[in-house]
A and B are shown apart, each in its own frame.
Chain A
Amino acid sequence: MEVLVNLAVNGLATGMLIFLLAAGLTLIFGLMDVVNFGHGALFAWGAYAGIWTYVTTGSFVVGILAAIITGLLLGLVLEKYIIQPVYGNHIQQILITLGVLIVLSEMLKVVWGPNQLSARTPSYLAGSWEFGDIIIIKYRLFIIAVGFIVFFLIRYILKNTKIGLIVRAGVINKEMVQALGINIKKVFMYVFMVGAAMAALGGILLGPYSGVIYAEMGMEFGILAFIVVVIGGMGNIKGSLFAAILVGVCGSFMAYYVPALSLAVNMLLMVIVLVFRPQGLFGAKG
């Protein structure tokens, strides 16, 4: 029983990290119809910039802010100069964002060196609570909380605010929104920036969780995020949350019970879902 609870909490925490990454990805796809294979690099940049600031200033909160700002800035530059020229062409998007992934991942090594950086948990989030044999690590709970806060925040913004209304309308009919006098290009840019910032936030949160950060994690987690988006149904935030938790929990249980399969479990999940439901678990048929 204790094992089950511990595994579930671990899986949930990992799932929430992946959700932060996948949510931005699916938001960008849902609104802009852009397949961003470079999303993982934003995650890695958030992690490096955030952890570096955290180590230099000694404040985790400042680190998080630095990560978010890095994400926003990178998102702005990417959208303006790289993504805009390839709107509407999926194959070109796949290719160009892949180039972005390569360049950004290598740039990390230029700026911070090729070795991995270590990251410590801030003292107020370190340690754990024990209930009998159940050990709950505080930091994991913190990640889970942040994940849910972000999820409900996005949902609130999308459902209850004017900008959310515009975004949702844009998903359904871009031209109509444009015709109503709203600059859909600007909206696209903001959405891309917010998505990038969420990825960067996920990046810095991963730092203390895994203890080390390295340049290749962009690729690794980028793939994971894509798997989640595909499983959940592209463009669906709720689907992403559900799929991220599914992937996280499956991963943590597999790592404990069938370690040999743990590397392949996400891929297998995606293959199964795609074969039987190509539009994803929550995706609309289309």
Chain B
Amino acid sequence: MIQTMDRKNMLYGLIFVALLCIPFVTDSRTLLIMFTQIFLFGIFAMSYDILLGYTGIVSFGHAMFFGIGAYSTGILMKQIDSTIPVLLLAIVLAAVLSGLVSYLLGILSLRLKSHFYAMLTLAFSGLFLVLAEKWRSVTYGNDGFTFSIPDPLRDRMTLYFIALITMALVFLLLNRFTNSPLGKVLQAIRENEPRVESLGYNVLHYKVIASVVAGVFASVAGSLYVLTLRFVNTSVLAVEVSLDALLMTIIGGVGTLVGAIIGAGLIEFAHHWLTGLAKVHWIFERWLIFFGILYILVVMFFPQGIVGTFRNWREKRSVRNKKVIEEKKNISG
């Protein structure tokens, strides 16, 4: 077991180093931008996985926290000054605000059944969308606004490294979180909520913690996202953003952080690729159909996602191998 853990960590380390090298190997702008997007959506998907994969909560309002991060960063950059300290302040502010909102939302609605909670999160993020559309003096409504970013960050490569390193840090942090005793309680809630409750745990309390953690990290992803675009409008709050997070988590594999990153990579890559194919055949303009079909098939046949399915397959294989070894021993002994 320890050996596999070591091998796994080494593999992750190798991938990280490889990703660090990419900007030195290629100078393709589109590739760099795509990878940067993958990293920050990886953060977003990991934060969503804390809810869906580790605690078993379906939320349709995750875009709300993404949007809080996006708007806080954009507004502070535009209204105050585009310097590094202001940027850091914006990210911290967004995280605190997201934490507060997710805390309040959690306290109010996490005691409800799953479908009610899903609806309520949809409603709340809808309210934020309306707020962003109506508060034109600050948000410029639907049109959004552009803003400048601190000079040292103007380079695409710098942003690439920042996104990659942030993703790695978030991964380590959340990995620590999910492996802690608290994280284990969350997984127990996912598996069997009534039993956890009867063991004396305050389920609501733990669910609220999961929702706050997810909200805070989603806002970090939002902050990074607008930093790469230098533009923010109401699309960061759209339902589609929440659905994207859902899709990434499901396809990659619920309940695994790596799965969330892989899912984010696949979706972003497929998005680029399929929209490029639109020139080949008009049906690819409707690439959402393929996503939808894929999504249904995954939920039906691979509810564990890519990583989960792979893991099951490997476990089965190792069990079989062990049996073979034991049988051999028996024969020789």
Q: Interface residue tally of chain B, by bracket? A: 35 or more
User: Contact flags (1/0) for B103-118 with A, using CB distance below 8 Å?
Assistant: 0000011011111101
Let me know if A271 and B293 touch, CB within 8 A.
no
- Taking CB atoms, residues of chain A closer than 8 Å to B243 are 98, 102
Question: How far, in angstroms, from A282 to B181 measured CA to CA in the complex?
Answer: 41
Tally the A-B contacts, defined by beta carbons under 8 Å: 95
- Taking CB atoms, residues of chain A closer than 8 Å to B114 are 90-91, 94
Let me know if B246 and A274 touch, CB within 8 A.
no
- Taking CB atoms, residues of chain B closer than 8 Å to A94 are 58, 114-115, 118
Q: Mark the stretch among B75-83, B122-130, B156-164 that contacts chain A.
A: B122-130
Task: Tell whether B291 is near chain A: CB-to-CB under 8 Å.
Answer: yes
Task: Tell whether B266 is near chain A: CB-to-CB under 8 Å.
Answer: no
Task: Tell whether B271 is near chain A: CB-to-CB under 8 Å.
Answer: no
Let me know if A264 and B300 touch, CB within 8 A.
no
- Checking B123, B283, B295 against A270 with a beta-carbon cut-off of 8 angstroms, the contacting residue is B123
Let me know if B239 and A219 touch, CB within 8 A.
yes
User: Contact flags (1/0) for A227-257 with B, using CB distance below 8 Å?
Assistant: 1001000100000000000000000000000
Task: Tell whether B303 is near chain A: CB-to-CB under 8 Å.
Answer: yes
Nearest chain B residue, comparing its CB with the CB of A267: B123
Question: How far, in angstroms, from A230 to B58 measured CA to CA in the complex?
Answer: 17
Nearest chain B residue, comparing its CB with the CB of A107: B289
- Taking CB atoms, residues of chain B closer than 8 Å to A109 are 286
Let me know if A95 and B246 touch, CB within 8 A.
yes
Let me know if B296 and A99 touch, CB within 8 A.
yes
Q: Interface residue tally of chain A, by bracket? A: 35 or more
Question: How far, in angstroms, from A267 to B239 measured CA to CA in the complex?
Answer: 14
Let me know if A102 and B288 touch, CB within 8 A.
yes
Interface residues of A (CB under 8 A from B): 35, 82, 85-86, 90-92, 94-96, 98-103, 106-107, 109-110, 219, 223, 226-227, 230, 234, 260, 263-264, 267-268, 270-271, 274-275, 278
What are 23 A-to-B residue pairs whose CB atoms are below 8 Å? A82-B296, A86-B300, A90-B114, A91-B58, A94-B58, A94-B115, A95-B58, A95-B295, A96-B296, A96-B299, A101-B292, A102-B289, A102-B292, A106-B288, A230-B116, A263-B130, A263-B134, A264-B126, A264-B127, A267-B126, A271-B120, A275-B108, A278-B112
Closest A-B pairs by Cβ, 10 of them: A103-B292, A102-B292, A99-B296, A99-B295, A267-B123, A106-B289, A35-B115, A96-B299, A263-B130, A264-B130
